[in-house]
Amino acid sequence: MDTVKIGKYVFKSRLMVGTGKYPSNEIMVKALEASGADLVTVAVRRVNLDRSKESLLDHIDLKKYRLLPNTAACYTADDAIRTARLAREALDTDLIKLEVIGDEKTLFPDNEALLEAAKVLVKEGFTVMPYSNDDPIMAKKLEDAGCAAVMPLAAPIGSGLGIRNPYNIRIILETVKVPIIVDAGVGTASDAAIAMELGCDGLLMNTAIASAKDPVAMARAMNLATEAGRLAFTSGRIPRKLYATASSPLSGLIE
Amino acid sequence: MKIKLNGEIKELPDGATIEALLESLSIKAQGIAVEVNREIVPKRLFGASTLNEGDAVEIVRMVGGG
């Protein structure tokens, strides 16, 4: 069976999905199911003291899904490290999707701070999955720092622009040995398929599913596209040629 | 005594523990993390950890995110 291994964890699905921005918890639960994902991301926030009984985790079947807490909205290494430690304490997990954001408008990562935080968290025993630029040099540095995967963005978070730089992703795939998970920027099923056809080990997405008109149907589309793209990659596609090659035999033609 | 809880001033009886604070808020210990003055307090110490005047307490849990 085709699986993806990140650190000591093995996942059946190459599609990982977020839990944010769904119209309702009911739709989220159905979309998670349709996506086929077994790793789902969550964010760490203050308990809302006016509604302290409400908990996202009441809706997610923890026997079915492993949680990947993130450090979203952290703008410094210190904040990200602090958030990662809180997530580990809350969930009793060493998995962390490490985000250190550099700018509000693009939500691009702050490379220096990301690497700094990654080094600290790896030393503390975390399984670090950093959200990074599609920069091969940075990806290699994150691998060298001990990250269990590298997660280059396809395009800005929530933008739906698709794989903007497939050539950089290809270079990253050639130079980095840990799993490469394309994180952020996917808009529709063909984007997911393209990432998988490039040879990426997996995909992480949230907005493309949660903000689709029909999130449950889109989750299934992404599930199928991820699998289709992976199969196409492992099957070995034909080379691109400028001119035609006949599919039917040229011998045995009637006269 | 007054503490700062998730950024808001809160009045608590003197000598209140983290456990008592969580109980008063109907928050179960499962799936949350508590920081007092930026130090994480492990769950097993909630019952024994008394809060002091002016403590800055953060209680976090998971919410939807990507």
Which pLDDT tens digits describe chain A residue by residue (255 residues)? 789 999 999 999 999 999 999 999 999 999 999 999 999 999 999 999 888 777 899 999 999 999 999 999 999 999 999 999 999 999 999 999 999 999 999 999 999 999 999 999 999 999 999 999 999 999 999 999 999 999 999 999 999 999 999 999 999 999 999 999 999 999 999 999 999 999 999 999 999 999 999 999 999 999 999 999 999 999 999 999 999 999 999 999 998
Query: Cα(A238)–Cα(A211) distance, rounded to whole angstroms?
Result: 35
- Using CA atoms, how far residue A64 sits from A87, A110, A127, A171, in Å, is 19, 33, 20, 34
A87 CB neighbours in chain B (<8 A) are 33, 62
Taking the Cβ of residue A248 and every Cβ of chain B, the question of whether any pair is shorter than 8 Å is answered with no
* B64–A89 CB contact, under 8 Å: no
Average pLDDT, chain B: 96
Best A15, A16, A89 residue to mutate vs chain B (most B CBs within 10 Å): A89
Minimal-distance CA residue of chain B relative to A54? B27
* B6–A47 CB contact, under 8 Å: yes
DSSP lists the bridge partners of residue A137 as none
Give the distance from CA A112 to its chain's centroid. 21
> Can you list the positions of beta strands (E) in chain B?
2-5, 8-11, 32-36, 39-41, 56-64
In Å, how far is A63's CA from the nearest CA of chain B?
15
pLDDT at position A50 is 85
pLDDT in tens, B9-62: 999 999 999 999 999 999 999 999 999 999 999 999 999 999 999 999 999 999
Taking the Cβ of residue A41 and every Cβ of chain B, the question of whether any pair is shorter than 8 Å is answered with yes
Minimal-distance CA residue of chain A relative to B24? A52
B63 CB neighbours in chain A (<8 A) are 20, 42-45, 56
In Å, how far is B15's CA from the nearest CA of chain A?
21
pLDDT at position A1 is 79
Query: Cα(A37)–Cα(A160) distance, rounded to whole angstroms?
Result: 20
B40 CB neighbours in chain A (<8 A) are 85-86, 89
B7 CB neighbours in chain A (<8 A) are 46
What is the CATH code for B2-61? 3.10.20.30
Joined together, the tokens standing for residue A37 give 């994902």
Q: pTM of the entire structure?
A: 0.94
Q: Which of A41, A55, A207 sits opposite B31 (nearest CB)?
A: A55
Minimal-distance CA residue of chain B relative to A86? B33
Query: Cα(A69)–Cα(A208) distance, rounded to whole angstroms?
Result: 19
B61 CB neighbours in chain A (<8 A) are 44-45, 47, 55-57, 90
In Å, how far is B6's CA from the nearest CA of chain A?
6
Q: Which of A20, A45, A204 sits opposite B60 (nearest CB)?
A: A45
Taking the Cβ of residue A28 and every Cβ of chain B, the question of whether any pair is shorter than 8 Å is answered with yes
> Can you list the positions of beta strands (E) in A153-231?
181-183, 202-205
ipTM: 0.96
Length of chain A: 255
Query: Cα(A248)–Cα(A119) distance, rounded to whole angstroms?
Result: 58
